[in-house]
Amino acid sequence: MRRFPYITVGRILEMVSESTQGQLRISRSTFYRLEKEGFFQSIKTIGNWRRYTPSDASIIVSLIKKNYGYAD
C-alpha cells in the first residue's frame, strides 16, 4: 500500500469498516456521492487526489456512521 503524508479516501473507508467491526462497508462511489450531497468537503491535491487531516477523517467517519445508523 502506498504511504502518503495525508489521509486518503481509501484509508477513510478502512476506518469506517474498522470502527464498525466490518459491519459497515461503503464503496468509493458512495463516498463520492455523500461528498457531492454536501455531507463533507474535500481538499484536492494538484493531481486531483482528495486529502484529509486526521481530524477531518475522524469527523467524516462519524458523519458516515451517523448517516447509516451507527452510534459513536
Residue 72 lies in a domain: no
pLDDT score for 55 = 93
- What mean pLDDT comes out for the span 65-72? 85
Give how many domains the chain has, as a whole number: 1
Residue 23 lies in a domain: yes
Angle formed by the axes of helices 9-19 and 54-67, nearest 10°: 50
Residue 31 lies in a domain: yes
Angle formed by the axes of helices 28-36 and 54-67, nearest 10°: 90
Which has more confidence, 72 or 52? 52
Host domain of residue 52: 9-67
User: What CA–CA distances, in Å, run from 49 to 8, 12, 14?
Assistant: 8, 13, 17
pLDDT in tens, 7-64: 999 999 999 999 999 999 999 999 999 999 999 999 888 988 899 999 999 999 999 9
Residue 2 lies in a domain: no
Residue 57 lies in a domain: yes
- Give residue 65's Cα distance to chain centre: 10
Q: Grid coordinates in use for 55?
A: 481530524
Which has more confidence, 10 or 72? 10
Q: Residue 53 pairs with which residues in a beta bridge?
A: none
Residue 1 lies in a domain: no
